A and B are shown apart, each in its own frame.
Chain A
Amino acid sequence: MNPSNSLASDAWSALSKNRAAWFSAIALTTMVLLVLLGPLVSPYEVDQTNWSKLAMPPSMQDGHIFGTDDLGRDLFVRTMYGGRISLMVGIVATLVSVLIGVSYGAISGFVGGKVDSIMMRIVDVLYAMPFLFFVILLMVFFGRSIFLIFVAIGAVNWLDIARIVRGQTLTIKGKEFVDAAKAGGVSTFRIIFRHIVPNLMGIVVVYVALTVPQVILVESFLSFLGLGVQEPMTSWGALVNQGARQMESSPWILLFPALFLAVTLFCFNFIGDGLRDALDPKDRTNTNE
């Protein structure tokens, strides 16, 4: 086997023994397929109301397998559409935060010295902020667009990644291949992004898996408060909110989206845990030197 794959193959062999992570990966794949293909199979549209079938309990006969909501819309299709939004926010906002976090951490760690201490001091200061409240303020004041959700959540979640990446960069930058690159006259920018960042991928993968559920959670939290995605779009958080308001009369409107949200978070957490065990032997997130 190609020795340059050793990290990946090590991780793979550790991960393949982790049954919980495997099961989660399968469940998650099923979920994604369901969310993408489900609405195509169903005869109903997301926003198709039916005044003769308001808040119907789940039934097989008329194809409303999750029942309908208080406007007679098919809950299965709505849950799938909500899932598309929730998962998309999770992935896009995570990418935003990884992009910021990796660049920030790698630059801070590699440049070192005063720049490093100032950059890390900024992270310390930001760490102490009640950030979710700022995201809420952003949503309230600047309209509730989905684009803003991506940016706001992504811009808030990069601190962990930046710290971890910086710690790793500090250990990598003493290695021979970095010295070799320096001796060869490679520019700092190029060393950071061509030689250091690729070696951080293991740790980044772990944090992607752990950040996605956090981001999904934040988005659902916002949508639950009515500050996230707006009608006619929906997300799991918005559906849970809608369901919670009428759970006495029609509990299924709450239960199905809640189940999907919880299972998704659950799977991501298990995969993240498994990846961390496989890729990050130190396990502790504490990298304060």
Chain B
Amino acid sequence: MTNLKFIFGRLLGAIPTLLVLICFAFFLVKSAPGGPFDFERSLPEEVEKNLREAYNLDDPLYLQLTKYVGSILTGDFGPSFQYRDYTVTELIMSGFPVSLRLGVAAIFLALILGGTIGTIAALNQNSRLDYSVMFFGMVGISIPNFVMAPLLVLIFSIALNILPAGGYANGSPLHMILPVVALALPQAAYIARLTRGSMIEVLNSNFVRTTRAQGLPLNTIIFKHVLKPTFLPVISYLGPATAAIITGSVVVEQIFGLPGLGRYFVQGALNRDYTLVMGVVIFYGLLIIGFNLIVDTVYGFIDPRIKHNR
């Protein structure tokens, strides 16, 4: 029961966050100098008037805002300003599957890679292996996605010529390898450090000492007692990790020429495509808020020490 109540409370808590997000995006875009119809050659007056009317640009701001919020609630982000024949919802839905594939693959890769490396480092604490793993972990954190991606292309596509340098090719796995790796590596490095620190703490805790004193085999101790508490901080890091992966996907999609959401965002921003940009930002916000909610809930189920009364 308390769990249901907790989830419900969190859902309610997410509503003001969303509203603030929408208002933020709305007023930011509205206060920007230069409109979407500022072309080099000015439009005939009647045409511009009709356009402004069609997009509600002549209404007072608060009315525009309430109309916008109302239509978002029904899943309608309005027509795109630049891609005339498409609605923003259609554009988001065409880009999202690509970004989703990329992001999910990257998160899984980061978790598996980071978790394994961190565990190995923690079990060999203060050995040379541990130090070198952590050193490379720090290197991984310090090399941003947009540096990692060209470097990977340089090595694997240009020098070794074994992987394609870009393009989507309808999602062929071969084309996805480099983007996924570029997106996952910094996160994997962070998760490895997190896992290591957390596991060392668990290994030094009293209950592990007790199980050791009872003479349980080391493998049993690790798999039955150590792993679960070790990965709790990693799970709570999944929220920020998702946000980082979404951000990273913007550049990675750009570099590898993947037709995902991130590319629409950058292009929309450069073209002053008001509705598209707002739509994508709100969509990203929804994703991050929703994912954090899931992580919180899962965390609460796994870790009974968390009290759901906040």
CB of A134 within 8 A of CB of B28, answer: yes
Question: Known interface pairs A217-B144, A221-B251, A269-B142. Does A130 touch B281 (Cβ–Cβ under 8 Å)?
Answer: yes
Q: CA A216 – CA B167 in complex, angstroms?
A: 29
Shortest C-beta distance, B133 to chain A (Å), equals 14
Shortest C-beta distance, A235 to chain B (Å), equals 13
Cβ–Cβ < 8 Å partners of A95 in chain B: none
CB of A130 within 8 A of CB of B28, answer: no
Cβ–Cβ < 8 Å partners of B265 in chain A: 133, 136
Binds A, one of B118-126, B146-154, B171-179, B210-218: B146-154
- Chain B 143-170, CB-CB to A under 8 Å as 1, else 0, gives 1101101110110001000000000000
- Among B29, B138, B265: residue with most chain A CB under 10 A: B138
CB of A240 within 8 A of CB of B143, answer: no
Cβ–Cβ < 8 Å partners of B7 in chain A: none
CB of A141 within 8 A of CB of B33, answer: yes
The B-contacting residues of A in range 212-229, CB under 8 angstroms, are 213, 217, 220-221, 224-225, 227
CB of A141 within 8 A of CB of B28, answer: yes
Interface residues on B, range: 35 or more
B98 at interface by CB-CB < 8 Å: no
CB of B142 within 8 A of CB of A265, answer: yes
B37 at interface by CB-CB < 8 Å: no
| Chain A residue nearest in CB terms to B246 | A130
Cβ–Cβ < 8 Å partners of A263 in chain B: 142
Q: CA A237 – CA B34 in complex, angstroms?
A: 27
Shortest C-beta distance, A89 to chain B (Å), equals 15
- Among A220, A241, A243, A258: residue with most chain B CB under 10 A: A258
B270 at interface by CB-CB < 8 Å: yes
CB of A130 within 8 A of CB of B138, answer: no
CB of B17 within 8 A of CB of A128, answer: yes
B47 at interface by CB-CB < 8 Å: no
A106 at interface by CB-CB < 8 Å: no
Shortest C-beta distance, B254 to chain A (Å), equals 7
CB of B281 within 8 A of CB of A137, answer: yes
CB of B33 within 8 A of CB of A137, answer: no
B21 at interface by CB-CB < 8 Å: yes
The A-contacting residues of B in range 196-255, CB under 8 angstroms, are 197, 243, 246-247, 250-251, 254-255
Q: CA A70 – CA B147 in complex, angstroms?
A: 19
Shortest C-beta distance, B130 to chain A (Å), equals 13
A248 at interface by CB-CB < 8 Å: yes
CB of A240 within 8 A of CB of B138, answer: no
A14 at interface by CB-CB < 8 Å: no
Q: CA A130 – CA B283 in complex, angstroms?
A: 10
Shortest C-beta distance, B52 to chain A (Å), equals 19
A132 at interface by CB-CB < 8 Å: yes
Cβ–Cβ < 8 Å partners of B304 in chain A: none
6 A-B pairs with the lowest CB-CB distances in the bound complex, closest first: A141-B32, A266-B142, A244-B150, A265-B142, A140-B269, A130-B284
Residues of A within 8 A of B (CB): 124-126, 128-130, 132-134, 136-138, 140-142, 213, 217, 220-221, 224-225, 227, 237, 240-241, 243-244, 247-248, 251, 254, 258, 261-263, 265-266, 269-270, 273, 283
User: What are 29 pairs between A and B in contact, CB < 8 Å?
Assistant: A125-B17, A129-B21, A130-B281, A132-B247, A133-B247, A133-B265, A136-B266, A137-B29, A137-B277, A140-B270, A220-B144, A221-B251, A225-B251, A225-B266, A227-B269, A237-B146, A240-B147, A240-B150, A244-B146, A247-B158, A254-B150, A254-B151, A254-B154, A258-B151, A263-B142, A265-B141, A266-B142, A269-B142, A283-B197
